[in-house]
Amino acid sequence: MFTFNHFNFNVLDLERSLAFYKDALGLTPVREKEASDGSFRLVYLGDGVSAFTLELTWLKDRTQPYDLGEGEFHLAFTVPDMEAAHQKHQEMGCICFENPAMGIYFIEDPDGYWIEVVPDKG
C-alpha cells in the first residue's frame, strides 16, 4: 500500500517562503537537508498533526521565477474556523481567488503557487 509522504515547491527566496508558510498556515520546519557544496537546500514543513510534509527546495544558482505552466495544480488545507482564516489571509493580502458558492478560497505564496483553503467538515 502507498501512502502520501510529501509534495515539493521550488522557491526563489527560502527565508521569505518560510515566513509566509509559518504566518499563513502555521507550517514549521520538521527536517532539512543542505548540499555539502551549498548548491541546494531542502526544508520540509509540517503542520504538527499529520505526517504529510511540504518540501521547499531552494537552488543557489536559480535567479529566475519558476514556470508554473497554467497553474492548474494546488495544495489544499482544511481549517476549522474558515472565517478567522479568511480574515487572516485577507489582512496578509494573499487571497488570489474566492469561490463563495463552494465555500472555498485560494491564497498565493511568494512564488505564485496556489493553496486552497476549505472548511473542515469533520
pLDDT digits (tens, 9 = 90+) for 103-118: 999 999 999 999 999 9
Q: How many CA atoms lie within 13 Å of 99's alpha carbon, on the beta-carbon side? A: 8
- Read off the DSSP letter of residue 5: -
- Match 488570489 to its residue by C-alpha cell: 96
Enzyme catalytic residues: 116
Strand-pairing partners, residue 42, are: 33, 57
Please, what are the domains in the chain? 6-62+73-119 (3.10.180.10)
Q: 0.75 exceeded by the pTM? A: yes
**Tens digits of per-residue pLDDT, 58-91?**
999 999 999 998 888 899 999 999 999 999 999 9
Residue 117, C-alpha cell as written in the block: 483553503
